[in-house]
């Protein structure tokens, strides 16, 4: 028998008991508790009707009238006049009115108390039913949600026969937990496959990179042309940068590192000159002033990536000469990189550092939309910053803070 049926039966028995108690209870003399009854009775007796059995009648003509009247007064009896043609002819007396009223009050009190107890019991039962059927399942859901929020997908959501309306609801949540658990397992499997693929790609890229380095070494030995040697040095430098990036990528895939490592330290500003010199052969790049000599706080590998991405974008999208200006500020230096192209749409400036975002004017050009996103990420992790705006072309300002 379900809990709900038991409760309904119990409530029905209580109501039936209340009805039986009401029917079987001694009759409460409502008339004897109302003064109207006494006045009407006095009028009826004055009109010649017989006095009721619960009342005494004395007449003025009785020899002991005064003695009886005084006795009734002393007993605090209820005394009303009997009249005939406007003249008092006697008295009608009730000696038990106080007892009747008290008895009626007692019966009313106990009856009201019984009704209150019965109603209270019914309300408590109904509240218990509401708690078991509705509130308790919600408490279980709250505990379950807390465990899921902590990542514990092995915590089952138990549900029973008395969960009532929420039984199916509770079961659906537990099914959802199982599906989330399976999805997490599938995601972990896919992540492992991705890591393995990244490791394989890193290894495969190193093979042609070794060939490039070997070719550069041959050219350095066999050629005495300064231009060729200069270009060869740039190629070797970039090959070294690629090798470092591949090492980072392989470590991230094998060690399950969620973010690319940025390891800033005190570095001389002169290294930035070397980075710019390595990029100069890629386009028409003009450095307008000298870089101030000082110690800066940056990661050389990551800063070189930032410069490569920003300058490479200007070369690819603007196709104009590029001016680089160094500005010294109180807490560091700002590298201003400016081209003379069309720039970007004003509404796109705030979107350039979003992952995978590519501007409207990048259509038809190769790219992934990660270059400026990574540049922003690297600079923020070096306590620096990068900002973009238009000024007769596209302008990027890279802030590098002083060491210390």
- Does 280 lie in the same domain as 133? no
Co-location of 7 and 128 in the same domain: yes
In a domain, 331, yes or no: yes
Please tell me which residue, 282 or 83, carries the higher pLDDT value. 83
Say whether both 146 and 284 belong to one domain.
no
Instruction: Render pLDDT for 287-346 as a digit per residue (tens, 0 to 9).
Output: 999 999 999 999 999 999 899 889 988 888 888 999 999 999 999 999 999 999 888 888
Mean pLDDT of all residues in the chain?
Answer: 78
Considering the domain boundaries, does residue 390 fall inside one?
A: yes
Specify the higher pLDDT residue, 210 or 393: 393
Q: What is the pLDDT of residues 88-126, one digit of tens each?
A: 999 999 887 666 666 666 776 776 777 677 777 777 777
More confident of the two residues 200 and 283 = 283
In a domain, 257, yes or no: no
* CA 286 vs CA 270, 278, 281, 317: distances in Å: 17, 13, 11, 17
pLDDT at 265 over 80: yes
Residues 146 and 1 in one domain: yes
pLDDT in tens, 8-40: 666 666 676 666 556 545 554 445 556 788 888
Please report whether residue 326 resides in a domain. yes
pLDDT top residue among 309 and 163: 309
For residues 3 and 148, membership in a common domain is answered with: yes
SS3 per-residue string spanning the chain: CCHHHHHHHHHHHHHHHHHHHHHHCCCCCCHHHCHHHHHHHHHHHHCCCCCCCCCEEEECCCCCHHHHHHHHHHCCCEEEEEEECCEEEEEEEECCHHHHHHHHHHHHHHHHHHHHHHHHHHHHHHHHHHHHHHHHHHHHHHHHHHHHHCCCCCCCCCCCHHHHHHHHHHHHHHHHHHHHHHHHHHHHHHHHHHHHHHHHHHHHHHHHHHHHHHHHHHHHHHCCCHHHHHHHHHHHHHHHHHHHHHHHHHHHHHHCCCCCCCCCEEEECHHHHHHHHHHHHHCCEEECCCCCCCEEEECHHHHHHHHHHHHHHHHHHCCCCEEEEEEEECCEEEEEEECCCCCCCHHHHHHCCCCCCCCHHHCCCCCCCCHHHHHHHHHHCCCCEEEEEECCCEEEEEEEEECC
Domain that holds residue 105: 1-152
pLDDT of 1 higher than 50: no
The CATH number of the domain holding residue 349 is: 3.30.565.10
Tally of domains within the chain:
2
Domain termination residue (choose one: 152, 178, 211):
152
Q: Within this chain, do residues 138 and 1 fall inside the same structural domain, yes or no? A: yes
pTM of the model: 0.45
Does residue 202 form part of some domain? no
Listed residues 111, 135, 152: the one ending a domain: 152
Q: Does the residue 10 lie in any domain?
A: yes
Residue 260 in domain:
no
Kindly state whether residues 269 and 395 are assigned to the same domain. yes
The more confidently predicted of residues 157 and 333 is: 333
pLDDT of residue 234: 86
What is the reported pLDDT for 78?
87
Report yes or no on 354 lying in a domain: yes
Q: Which of 152, 172, 190 is the last residue of a domain?
A: 152
């Amino acid at each position: 028998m379900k809990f709900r049926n038991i409760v309904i039966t119990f409530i029905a028995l209580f109501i039936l008991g209340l009805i039986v108690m009401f029917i079987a209870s001694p009759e409460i003399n409502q008339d004897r508790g109302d003064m109207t009854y006494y006045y009407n009775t006095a009028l009826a007796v004055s009109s010649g009707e017989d006095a009721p059995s619960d009342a005494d009648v004395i007449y003025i003509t009785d020899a002991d009238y005064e003695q009886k009247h005084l006795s009734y007064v002393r007993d605090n009896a209820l005394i009303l006049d009997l009249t005939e043609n406007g003249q008092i002819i006697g008295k009608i007396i009730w000696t038990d009115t106080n007892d009747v009223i008290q008895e009626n009050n007692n019966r009313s009190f106990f009856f009201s108390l019984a009704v209150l107890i019965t109603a209270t019991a019914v309300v408590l039962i109904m509240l218990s039913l509401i708690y078991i059927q509705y509130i308790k399942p919600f408490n279980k859901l709250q505990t379950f949600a807390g465990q899921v929020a902590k990542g514990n997908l092995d915590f089952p959501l138990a549900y029973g026969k008395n969960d009532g309306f929420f039984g199916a609801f509770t079961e659906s949540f537990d099914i959802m937990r199982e599906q989330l658990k399976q999805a997490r397992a599938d995601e972990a499997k896919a992540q492992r496959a991705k890591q393995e693929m990244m490791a394989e790609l890193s290894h495969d890229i190193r093979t042609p990179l070794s060939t490039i380095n070997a070719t550069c070494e041959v050219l350095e030995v066999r050629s005495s042309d300064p231009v060729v040697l200069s270009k060869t040095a740039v190629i070797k430098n970039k090959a070294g940068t690629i090798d470092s990036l591949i090492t980072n990528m392989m470590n991230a895939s094998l060690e399950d590192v969620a973010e690319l490592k940025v390891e800033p330290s005190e570095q001389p500003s002169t290294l930035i000159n070397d980075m710019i010199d390595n990029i100069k052969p890629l386009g028409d790049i003009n450095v307008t002033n000298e870089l101030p000599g000082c110690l800066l706080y940056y990661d050389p590998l990551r800063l070189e990536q930032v410069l490569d991405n920003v300058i490479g974008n200007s070369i690819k999208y603007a196709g104009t000469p590029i001016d680089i200006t160094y500005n010294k500020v109180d807490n560091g230096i700002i590298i201003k990189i400016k081209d003379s192209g069309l720039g970007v749409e004003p509404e796109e400036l705030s979107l350039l550092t979003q992952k995978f975002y590519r501007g409207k004017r990048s259509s038809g050009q190769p790219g992934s939309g990660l270059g400026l996103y990574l540049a922003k990420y690297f600079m923020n992790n070096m306590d620096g910053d990068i900002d973009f705006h238009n000024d007769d072309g596209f302008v990027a300002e890279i802030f590098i803070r002083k060491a210390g």
